[in-house]
Each structure stands twice: as C-alpha cells, then as structure tokens.
Amino acid sequence: MPAKKRSGLKWLGRILFVLLIALSLALIFNEQIKSWLVSSYSPTVTEKTVKQNAKKKGDFNFSKVKSLDFQTVAKARMNKNSIHVIGSIAIPSIDLYLPIGNGVSNETLALAAGTMKQDQKMGSGNYTLAGHHMIKHGALFSPLYYKSKVGQMMYLSDAKSIYAYKTTERKFIEATAVQVINDVPGKKLLTLITCDKTGAGRLMIRGTYVEKWSFKQAPKKVQKAFSSHFNNKY
C-alpha cells in the first residue's frame, strides 16, 4: 500500500476516534449539558420588549408539547428569538427565577415558563403558567416539586410593575384537570402547573393576589429578586 494512502487512512482513523470520544462524552454528560443550556438562558427584559412581545401571537396548542429531551433544548437555544418573553417570575424562598414566554411552544417551555391562556394580565383573573420538571432540582419548575410550600410569596413582573401573590394551595391533580386554568369569579389568582415525578400527573401551585407595586416602589429585596437574576433593564 502506498505510503500516502496509509497516511490518509491513519488520519481518518484518528478523526473517527476523536468523533467517537466526543460522542461518548456527549452521551455521558447529556443531562448536565441540557441543564446548562436551560439555566444559562438569560433574555433581556424591558418595558419595550415586553410590549412588543405581548402583541405577538403565542402557540397554545398543548397537544404539540413534547417531553424535554436534549434535542428540544438545543433547538430552543438555537431558536431563542422565537420565544416571546413578556415578563419574569420569582419565588425567592425556593430559588426559582424564570423568564415568562407567551404561549406553550416547545421552544418556550424548554427555557422558560409559558402562559397557558391568551391575553392574560398579571394581577387579574387567574394568571396561569406551565413549566417543565427536570432532574436537576433547580432548573425550570423543578423547585416547585421539591421545595414549594403553602405560605410562600411568589412574584410576577412585566418590567414595569411587580405583582405579589401568596401561596395558598399545593395539590397533585390529574393531567386532564384543565379546568384549573379557568378564571374564578371575584378572585385574582396565580396558578403554576408542572409534571409530577412520574410525568403522568400534574402538580398545581396556586396563590392569591396580595398587592402590586411599580418596580421602583417595590421592597428592595423584591426588586433584587428580579434585577440580580435576569438580564433586565428596569
């Protein structure tokens, strides 16, 4: 065999070896990489971007929502501009800080909490959000499963105001119990939905409205919950 050909085969073998090592490492650290892709997502949230994104059409087709695999997360990061961020949610007592996206597209739920109804308004009606439950306890809505308790304070922000809610209910429900997202006459609620540990059922966290502040008039620790965890410009 000519020396040139032997050299070419040798380099091909090395390339294949490197590719196999890279593939093996990707498989071994799949969950860690996926968690990093989710946790490192930090969109800019301003009054201007919130207003712009609120006018855009969201995807509310729950039947298209997929489980959160690596491909879904990677695709979401590549198409992060398709996520219409309209605010943020903070629950400091369980270390939960997430952007809120308009709708429940796979891209939105891969990196953020998603609104479950069109034209929701913070501080009125039953404001409902969905989020994935991941193996990593601190990612997406996982803290709700592991740390949430009745009595904890929850906050929403649209970059202009902050809305405070107090947790009043923590309940496991059937996946078909879609009525929990409906408005309740005379009540202002915040309802958060995530999967239970099996993935077959759902965990519902519900809070009742307490008060609203303009962002700069909110208690300093509440302001900090947003300003120190998001790429915001308040």
Q: What is the pLDDT of residues 180-207, one digit of tens each?
A: 999 999 999 999 999 988 778 999 999 9
CATH of the domain at 192: 2.40.260.10
Number of structural domains (the chain) is: 1
State the pairing for strand pair 153-157/85-91: antiparallel
Classify residue 31: in a domain, yes or no. Answer: no
Residue 34, amino acid = K
The reply to whether 195 belongs to the active site is yes
Structure tokens at 92: 């400091």
Q: What is the pTM of this model?
A: 0.84
133, 137, 195, 229: the active-site residue: 195
Please, what sign has the CA dihedral across residues 100, 141, 104, 80? positive
Q: Is 132 a catalytic residue?
A: yes
Domain range for residue 134?
41-232
From the list 144, 139, 83, 146, the residue with the least C-alpha distance to 115 is 83
- Whether residue 5 lies inside any domain: the answer is no
- pLDDT per residue as tens digits for the range 65-121: 888 888 888 888 888 888 999 999 999 999 999 999 999 999 999 999 999 999 899
Q: How far apart are CA 191 and CA 125, in angstroms?
A: 10
Alpha carbon 111 to chain centroid, angstroms: 5
33-49 pLDDT, tens per residue? 777 788 888 888 888 99
Give me the catalytic one of 84, 132, 137, 229: 132
Whether 177 is in a domain gets the answer yes
* CA-based nearest residue to 182, from 120, 97, 136: 120
